[in-house]
Homo-oligomer: A and B are copies of this chain.
């Protein structure tokens, strides 16, 4: 909070810079291919500094994922919570995940969720939490669509939310693989257009 002059040697390490570098490294190259050592190297800092700030690797991966949540996942949830029509909302999130260059390398959250076992407790807990958040955002958008009458409600909300969540995750997975998910996501979302 306040920046009162502290007592010892002033720190040259900028924590938020390190987190940002770590996030982009994990995001771009995949968490499996980025060691703590390589983050140290990319950030140009000393390893003990990392351990002082984050405790251990679990703390670093958690911080990187939390930063990702702030940076990009918030946007998705904002879109799903906007006051646009249901169709506009899901089209926007579909375009964001399937076409936006921001997700050229896929989604860090999706990548980490695919390998939960590779992470520590706190990171896994955050993954679960973000998963639940995203699912809840989809459910809310569906409920809004029902209320506003711009979704037919031909599918029970919980199933529809799980379906949307899974399809967006699939699109982001395909982008990470270098495939173009445009056609797939278009077909997948077509079930919301006409009653079944």
Contact = CB atoms under 8 A, between A and B. Distances in A.
A12 interface: no
Nearest to A116: B177
A196 interface: yes
Copies in the complex: 2
Contact of A170 (B32, B118, B170, B191): B170
A-side binding surface: helix, strand, loop or mixed?
helix
B173 A159 contact: no
A167 B118 CA distance: 25
Interface residues of A, number: 31
Given A115-B32, A173-B114, A174-B166, A190 B191 contact: yes
Interface of A: 30, 32-33, 113-118, 155, 159-160, 162-163, 166-167, 169-170, 173-174, 177, 181, 183-184, 187-188, 190-191, 193-194, 196
